[in-house]
Amino acid sequence: MSMYPNLLAAKAPALLLAGLLILAANLAHAAPDFLVDAGWLESRLKDPKTVVLEVRYFPHRYATVGHIPGAVQVARFKDLGDNDSPVLMRLPAREVFQATLRRWGVNDDSTLVLYDDSRSVLAARLYFLLDYYGFDMNRVKILDGGTVEWTAFNELTKETAPRKPGKVTLKPGNRAMIAEWTEVYERVVVGRDPQVVLIDSRPKDMYTGKLIRHSVQGGHIPGAVNVVSLDLTDAQSQKWLSLDQIAAAYKDIPKDATIITYCHDGFRSALAWLQLKALGYRNVRFMNGGWSQWDRSLTLPVVQGDKPFDEDFSL
């Protein structure tokens, strides 16, 4: 009888372990399935069901610099926030956002490709809104690297063409995906609930209060920890870092906690929300209104410095 079956049987556990380690390594470095490259988009650009949406930091560059052929311009403040609220970037109403999507030519069976020129941080807000209002997220992609990725091998255009209005129908907002300031105040500031983690996604100087920008006052919500979501992208390529690098930044955030993300106006916090979802965190919420809601009350408590709580909260 051959000795090879016994030899293979003896090596099977080691081979299985090696295979699992390789699989784990590949998963750690794999990109989320909602991120696509320019080649993927180029092959689908002429598909009538493909709707490309551009969210630039400086929206006038859609016309002056150019855009991906066929792309629809998204005015990030007007189109992605509640224009009638004193806090500008609270979530728009379903009917309003639905009308905006229809104006862009979006249908229920459209494939949406979102891109920006700001390391996915603007596209992430649009992605969140689509998910919040029940669009089929299997049909939503983000061009990783945005305009930098596209222009490496392709041209932008200044030409625009009208789109036929769409007929998309959104669902009521999924309230389990958001947190209002009252919940943050009750569970984090008052209750000190250990099962809730509040993440401030802004740059460190804004978190500490050293830099006051787009705000009335500096600092952060008591109890918030600082993870800068934009630091988990590459400044030159505009692309996401690998998932294992992103996971390292969030390593102290327990996966069984309720996580609430916030920033000034709901862009960096949407990126943090998306990063955490990509890592497999299940209960991640987005603070509606963010720091703008908290800051402009002028009466809610604020902490300055690099710690979640200051001396006033140490007793």
Q: What is the pLDDT of residues 296-308, one digit of tens each?
A: 988 999 999 999 9
Token pair, residue 120, equals 């996915």
Under the banding of pLDDT at 50, 70 and 90, the label for residue 26 is: very low
pLDDT of 12 over the 70 cut: no
Q: Average pLDDT over the chain, rounded to whole?
A: 92
**What CATH superfamily classification does 175-310 receive?**
Rhodanese-like domain (3.40.250.10)
Q: What is the pLDDT of residues 189-223, one digit of tens each?
A: 999 999 999 999 999 999 999 999 888 999 999 99
Element (H, E) at 143: strand 140-143
Reduced to 3 states, what is the DSSP secondary structure of residue 270?
helix
Give the residue-averaged pLDDT of 211-240.
96
Give the residue-averaged pLDDT of 244-262.
97
Structure pTM?
A: 0.90
Domain boundaries, the chain: 35-151, 175-310
**What pLDDT is attached to residue 214?**
86
Alpha carbons 236 and 65: distance in angstroms, whole number: 19
**What pLDDT is attached to residue 23?**
45
Give yes or no for a contact between 115 and 68, defined as CB atoms under 8 angstroms apart: yes
**What pLDDT is attached to residue 315?**
77
pLDDT of 58 over the 60 cut: yes
pLDDT of 29 over the 80 cut: no
pLDDT of 3 over the 90 cut: no
pLDDT of 145 over the 70 cut: yes
Alpha carbons 66 and 160: distance in angstroms, whole number: 10
Q: Could you check whether 35-151 and 175-310 share the same CATH topology? A: yes
**What CATH superfamily classification does 35-151 receive?**
Rhodanese-like domain (3.40.250.10)
DSSP result, 50-96: EEEEEE-SSTTHHHHT-BSTTPEE--HHHHHS-TTSSSTTSPPPHHH
pLDDT of 180 over the 90 cut: yes
Q: Residue 207, exposed/middle/buried by CB under 10 A (0-12, 13-18, 19+)?
A: buried
Q: What is the pLDDT of residues 262-306, one digit of tens each?
A: 999 999 999 999 999 999 999 999 999 999 999 998 899 999 999
Give the residue-averaged pLDDT of 24-40.
77
Q: What is the pLDDT of residues 104-144, one digit of tens each?
A: 999 999 999 999 999 999 999 999 999 999 999 999 999 99
Residue 197, phi-psi category: left (phi > 0), alpha (psi -120 to 50), beta (remainder): beta
**What pLDDT is attached to residue 7?**
46
Token pair, residue 306, equals 């690099």
Reduced to 3 states, what is the DSSP secondary structure of residue 250?
coil
pLDDT of 2 over the 50 cut: no
Percent of the chain at pLDDT exceeding 70: 91
**What pLDDT is attached to residue 269?**
98
Token pair, residue 175, equals 């309230």
**What pLDDT is attached to residue 15?**
47
Q: What is the pLDDT of residues 162-176, one digit of tens each?
A: 889 999 999 999 999
**Pairing status of strand 111-116 against strand 178-179:** unpaired
Alpha carbons 207 and 225: distance in angstroms, whole number: 9
Which residue has tokens 């630039």? 56
